[in-house]
């Protein structure tokens, strides 16, 4: 519950799940405007008590998101402090995290995946133009607001979620391989707009591998060695896509393509190339 200019009350309903440092609940936001009640369903992200030392970073993520507005960025209403609890109040996104959605569905069309990739690139471009580093781009932080249905000619619609607590504050950099740019393993770690591009490359990989987790079950030493020996994720058979991912995941931050180039390349990907590729593979299966 919180008090703001328009008298805003937030109520907690059911628990929806858990993040790395958070528990999420469905809630209802009530604003009173001109004597009238307006109710909106919201998502309440509660910082775990054992991570409450990170409240400042949690506030930072929230304030970053609430100061910017873009159709593919999650709407964050603000942070509410309720007793010892820090709660981020944000838009409730219907289909939740993209990685889980892709795993659950199993067969999302390539054109849908391409639409999602383009929308994420637009969000990235927006942040880039504003000189804002997100710092935690991955498929679990891409939320799906609308499903795409090629037979009805409707496109999916995504929203990039808040980054949570800055990775550089946490002891989780190795865990976050292959999403973190390798420059974050340096001492001191360097987080820049270029790092988001690396993460975007890893996210593209996840999208086109149906939400599969890259380097799943690898231990931290193996992950460290992966970067130490300049390896790349298993390339897609769709060469043009594989090239894009490799360019984004360039070990030299400055060599990664600009957002403009990324968007242009995505627009140049032709879904039928992928379908032809897979049709020709079919007899061997």
Q: Which residues bind ligand ATP (CB under 6 A)?
A: 16-17, 19-22, 24, 43, 45, 74, 90-93, 96-97, 100, 136, 140-141, 143, 161, 164
Using an 8 Å Cβ cutoff, are 72 and 120 in contact? Answer: yes
Nearer to Mg ion, 207 or 244 (CB): 207
Minimum CB separation of residue 172 from ligand ATP in Å reads 9
Using an 8 Å Cβ cutoff, are 177 and 213 in contact? Answer: no
Assess 62 for contact with Mg ion (CB under 5 A): no
> How many residues contact Mg ion, by CB under 5 A?
2
Residue 44 binding target from Mg ion, ligand ATP, none, CB below 5 to 8 Å by type: none
Residue 190 binding target from Mg ion, ligand ATP, none, CB below 5 to 8 Å by type: none
Among 62, 86, 119, 141, binds Mg ion (CB under 5 A): 141
Nearer to ligand ATP, 21 or 198 (CB): 21
Instruction: List binders of Mg ion among 160-189 (CB under 5 A).
Output: 161
| Closest-CA residue to 132 (of 58, 60, 192, 201) | 192
Nearer to ligand ATP, 114 or 158 (CB): 158
Residue 195 binding target from Mg ion, ligand ATP, none, CB below 5 to 8 Å by type: none
Using an 8 Å Cβ cutoff, are 195 and 176 in contact? Answer: no
Tokens of 181: 């740019």
Minimum CB separation of residue 138 from Mg ion in Å reads 8
Question: Whole-angstrom Cα distance, residue 128 to residue 33?
Answer: 35
Backbone angles phi, psi at 29, to 5 degrees: -105, 130
CA dist 51 → 175, 180, 256 (Å): 18, 21, 34
Minimum CB separation of residue 159 from Mg ion in Å reads 11
Taking the CB of residue 9, how many other CB atoms lie within 10 A of it?
Answer: 17
Minimum CB separation of residue 33 from ligand ATP in Å reads 23
Using an 8 Å Cβ cutoff, are 142 and 203 in contact? Answer: yes
Q: Which stretch binds Mg ion (CB under 5 A): 136-144, 202-210, 214-222, 230-238?
A: 136-144
Nearer to Mg ion, 80 or 141 (CB): 141
Question: Which residue's CB atom is positioned nearest to Mg ion?
Answer: 141
Nearer to Mg ion, 58 or 227 (CB): 58
Residue 22 binding target from Mg ion, ligand ATP, none, CB below 5 to 8 Å by type: ligand ATP
Residue 143 binding target from ligand ATP, Mg ion, none, CB below 5 to 8 Å by type: ligand ATP
Question: Whole-angstrom Cα distance, residue 54 to residue 69?
Answer: 25
Minimum CB separation of residue 282 from ligand ATP in Å reads 34
Minimum CB separation of residue 35 from ligand ATP in Å reads 29
Residues that bind Mg ion (CB under 5 A): 141, 161
């Amino acid at each position: 519950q919180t008090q703001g200019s328009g008298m805003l009350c937030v109520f907690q309903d059911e628990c929806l799940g858990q993040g790395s440092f958070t528990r999420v609940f469905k809630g209802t936001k009530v604003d009173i405007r001109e004597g009238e009640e307006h109710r909106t369903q919201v998502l309440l992200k509660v910082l775990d008590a054992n991570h409450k030392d990170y409240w400042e970073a949690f506030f930072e993520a929230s304030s970053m998101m609430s100061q910017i507005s873009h159709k593919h960025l999650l709407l964050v209403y603000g942070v509410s402090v309720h007793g010892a609890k820090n709660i981020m109040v944000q838009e409730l996104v219907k289909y939740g995290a993209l990685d889980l959605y892709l795993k659950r569905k199993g067969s999302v069309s390539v054109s849908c995946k391409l639409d999602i990739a383009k929308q994420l690139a637009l969000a990235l471009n927006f942040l880039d133009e504003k000189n804002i580093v997100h710092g935690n781009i991955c498929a679990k932080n891409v939320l799906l607001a609308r499903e795409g249905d090629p037979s009805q000619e409707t496109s999916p619609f995504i929203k990039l979620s808040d980054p949570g607590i800055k990775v550089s504050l946490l002891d989780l950099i190795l865990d976050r391989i292959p999403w973190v740019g390798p420059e974050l393993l340096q001492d001191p770690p360097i987080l820049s707009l270029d790092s988001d591009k690396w993460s975007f490359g890893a996210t593209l990989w996840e999208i086109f591998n149906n939400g599969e987790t890259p380097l799943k079950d690898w231990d931290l030493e193996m992950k460290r060695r992966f970067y130490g020996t300049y390896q790349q994720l298993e390339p897609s058979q769709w060469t043009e896509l594989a090239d894009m991912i490799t360019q984004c995941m360039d070990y030299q931050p400055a060599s990664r393509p600009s957002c403009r180039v990324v968007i242009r390349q995505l627009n140049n990907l032709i879904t039928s190339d992928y379908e032809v590729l897979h049709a020709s593979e079919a007899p061997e299966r």
